[in-house]
Amino acid sequence: MEIKPIERSNLPDKIIEQIKNIIIKGRLQLGDKLPSERELAERFSVGRTTVREAMKALSYAGIIKKVREGTIVNRNVSNFFIDSLTQMLIMKHLDFEDLFETREVLEVKLAGFAAQRATIEDIEIIGNILKEMSEKANHDTHDFVTADIRFHEAIAEAAQNRVLYEIFIAVRLLLRKAQEEVVKYPGIMKRSLKYHQQIFEAIKKQNVLKAERAMFAHIDDVEKALMSLEVLEIKKS
């Protein structure tokens, strides 16, 4: 794995750029272990805090993840990094609070548009995904999260605004890791299903205001659960 010392300006961005290129060129592949923070800091000729900031941004994006043995490549990202908006979001090192604020603005509006514009086919698709979520709740967290993401994506599709849809996709990619963490919070899946049912019913009945309110309440609830988990993790450490 070839790493070059970097210039002092925009250090985390340049670390992300180098690791991105290493992954895209196949020198690091899915499941491969990255060097330790200490080793990366030495090889990049930067401080460990700078490396940690870059790793945090890549972790938020789901590109890398921490396991017992260290930090590994979490996905094949050749296509992922082609998306300029997603890359921009990663390079800005946005945290979960920024992303949830974006969701509150973006997905609330998408829910309202879906209530106005959803077709019969859209309603059927959203309803079927909701049934799948209900079946997976408390049994298979991975499949529950996957269905949850598809539910929100189906709403974004039903909103019939391609620009908002593409922004939504970029944000959702960065939030996959948060979604996988928050399902660990006691009772969150049951509450999530309740909110999803309310969102679905409002869209089905073409009630724009109720759809927007239900979506906002759901996102707010998930954010609070995630923040509670982070506080618990800090207390443990």
Q: What is the CATH classification number for the domain harbouring 52?
A: 1.10.10.10
Comparing C-alpha atoms, which of 28, 29, 27, 49 is closest to residue 37? 49
Q: Please tell me the least confidently modeled range out of 49-58, 107-116, 147-156.
A: 49-58
Based on the domain organization, do 191 and 116 belong to the same domain?
yes
User: Final residue of a domain: which of 23, 46, 81?
Assistant: 81
Report strand pairing: 70-73 vs 64-67. antiparallel
Based on the domain organization, do 53 and 128 belong to the same domain?
no
CB neighbours of 228 closer than 8 A, spacing ≥ 6? 185
In a domain, 87, yes or no: no
User: Final residue of a domain: which of 26, 54, 81?
Assistant: 81
- Residue 70 predicted with pLDDT over 50: yes
Q: Which residue has the higher pLDDT, 194 or 50?
A: 194
- The predicted-structure confidence for 12-65, as pLDDT tens digits, reads as follows 888 888 887 777 677 788 888 999 989 998 988 888 888 888 888 788 767 888
- Residue 231 predicted with pLDDT over 70: no
- Bridge partners (DSSP) of residue 71 are 66
Q: Please tell me the least confidently modeled range out of 42-46, 70-74, 181-185.
A: 181-185
Q: What is the CATH number of the domain that holds 219?
A: 1.20.120.530
Mean pLDDT throughout 188-200? Answer: 94
65: containing domain = 11-81
